[in-house]
Amino acid sequence: MDLSAASHRIPLSDGNSIPIIGLGTYSEPKLLWATNHVPEMVRPTLERTLRVLQLDYVDLYIIEVPMAFKPGDEIYPRDENGKWLYHKSNLCATWE
């Protein structure tokens, strides 16, 4: 997983680009990212979050985006043409 600022930029029509995330903030640690919506990935992802936060539980675990990206190490997966790679996932199964 590449967390460098260079890999998290949005190209503008004039050829310049801007960072997706500003102020040095990466992500809210208590949410399920869109690449982990496959039901089998939810529990391990939650357990990893708990380890990172050094907690036994969280009161609320948010499904950040109501659509799934292709599972994998890329945070914003795209194809060779730069289009987002979505994944067909049952949001109800993810929630359960």
Predicted model pTM:
0.60
Tokens of 70: 């292709």
Tell me the pLDDT tens digit for each residue of 45-96. 999 989 988 889 888 888 878 889 999 888 889 999 999 999 988 888 888 8
**What token pair was written down for 15?**
């050829």
The span from the CA of 23 to the CA of 34, in Å, is 22
> Which phi and psi (to 5°) does residue 3 adopt?
-105, 15
